[in-house]
């Protein structure tokens, strides 16, 4: 839309082709009015919006824009925690620019991104990560919402529990069955009762419904896994067809491992299979290096669980923490 203004008023999506089992990666707000959304099969999106324009992704263009935006963020703080190509947390509590005003910093960042990169961004300003994330979604697109410390209690009470971090469809349904629809409802529950109903998630629910989130903004995260996967245009009918695809998948994973420099950190190998009934299974084992035969064994174990045609196969590795032989100080 930035590069071709003619697309701005059209329902537009980025994703794969319908005849190749493509899915929607993202879409504009015109398309969303028709019910199109991310992760929806392209074929279904076209049924909801027959005039939908579907374009292939251009990852290099997105990476370039993302790098420019991150450079702007880092003009204000080094505490930038990227969540994806287009989303990040910023801790500006120690920033000197604009007299340390988080609201004014957010406004200036939005203006600079539009001027330098040519796209709009939305921002949320709040005392913690949970509330900032909620606030960033409040006035989309191209908006900003500020939650002051004295407004936290009143703001959180009105939130639906489905918007809480860690609450998916299953947990939301369970909360609704218990008569809990808003954070104000959740406030009536004690910590022991929430722990009994939801396990360790109960402790998170107890804090979040009070607007409490102690997570720090972390500027970098250690990579925990590397994986690749392939969705097939036509189902792989049996195990022999699946195993025939393994060399290509394995070569692709090898390239990813080499690119990320993670060969010496391998802790586990795993395989993911999605059958044509959309049910998925995973198999893993401990290992300290790539081994195509081990993946073949895992593939056979996974396939035997259902023995149905296969629409997706994924290979991956889990990583241990990076080895550090340096002697650490005692204090």
Q: Is 86 annotated as a binding residue?
A: yes
Give the largest CA-CA distance in the chain: 66
CA–CA distance, 14 with 88 (Å, rounded to integer): 21
Cβ partners under 8 Å of residue 234, min gap 6? none
**Would you state the structure tokens that stand for residue 135, as one six-digit string?**
């606030």
- The conformational region for residue 69 under phi > 0 = left, psi -120 to 50 = alpha, else beta, is alpha
- Residue 160 DSSP class: B
Q: What angle do CA 286, 289, 295 make, to 5 degrees?
A: 65
Q: Which residues pair with 201 in a beta bridge?
A: none
Distances (CA, A) of 221 to 76, 80, 171, 327: 20, 11, 27, 22
Nearest to 79 by CA among 215, 213, 223: 215
The angle at the Cα of 143, spanning 138 to 147, to the nearest 5 degrees, equals 50
Tokens of 251: 């070569």
CB atoms within 10 A of CB 116: 13
Q: Check the annotation: does 142 bind a ligand.
A: no
| Residue reference for tokens 């005003």 | 101
In 3D, which of 59, 12, 142, 64 has the Cα closest to residue 1? Answer: 12
Other beta carbons less than 10 A from residue 234's beta carbon: 10
Report the distance separating Cα 105 and Cα 97, nearest Å.
Answer: 7
Q: Which residues are catalytic?
A: 87
Which residues participate in the annotated binding site for Mg(2+)? 3, 86
Which residues participate in the annotated binding site? 3, 86
């Amino acid at each position: 839309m930035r590069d071709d203004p003619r697309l701005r008023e059209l329902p537009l999506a980025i994703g794969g082709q319908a005849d190749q089992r493509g899915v929607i990666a993202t879409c504009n707000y015109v398309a969303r009015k028709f019910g199109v959304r991310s992760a929806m099969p392209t074929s279904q999106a076209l049924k909801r919006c027959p005039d939908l324009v579907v374009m292939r992704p251009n990852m290099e263009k997105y990476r370039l824009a993302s790098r420019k935006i991150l450079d702007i963020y880092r003009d204000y703080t080094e505490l930038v925690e990227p969540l994806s190509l287009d989303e990040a947390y910023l801790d500006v509590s120690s920033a000197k620019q604009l007299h340390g005003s988080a609201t004014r910093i957010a406004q200036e960042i939005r203006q600079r991104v539009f001027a330098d990169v040519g796209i709009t961004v939305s921002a949320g300003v709040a005392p913690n990560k949970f509330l900032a994330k909620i606030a960033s979604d409040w006035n989309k697109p191209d908006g900003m919402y500020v939650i002051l410390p004295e407004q936290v209690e009143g703001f959180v009470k009105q939130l639906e529990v489905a918007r809480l971090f860690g609450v998916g469809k299953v947990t939301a349904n369970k909360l609704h069955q218990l008569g809990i629809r808003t954070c104000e409802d959740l406030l009536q529950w004690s910590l022991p009762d929430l722990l009994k109903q939801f396990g360790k998630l109960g402790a998170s629910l107890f804090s979040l419904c009070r607007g409490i989130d102690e997570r720090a903004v972390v500027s970098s995260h250690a990579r925990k896994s590397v994986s690749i996967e392939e969705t097939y245009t036509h189902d792989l009918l049996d195990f022999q067809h699946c195993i025939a695809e393994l060399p290509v998948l394995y070569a692709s994973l090898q390239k990813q491992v080499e690119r990320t420099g993670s060969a010496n950190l391998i802790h586990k190998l795993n395989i993911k299979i999605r059958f044509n009934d959309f049910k998925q299974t995973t198999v893993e084992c401990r290992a300290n290096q790539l081994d195509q035969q081990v993946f073949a064994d895992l593939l056979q174990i996974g396939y035997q669980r259902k023995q149905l045609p296969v629409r997706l196969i994924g290979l991956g590795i889990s990583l241990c923490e990076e080895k550090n032989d340096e002697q650490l100080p005692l204090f």
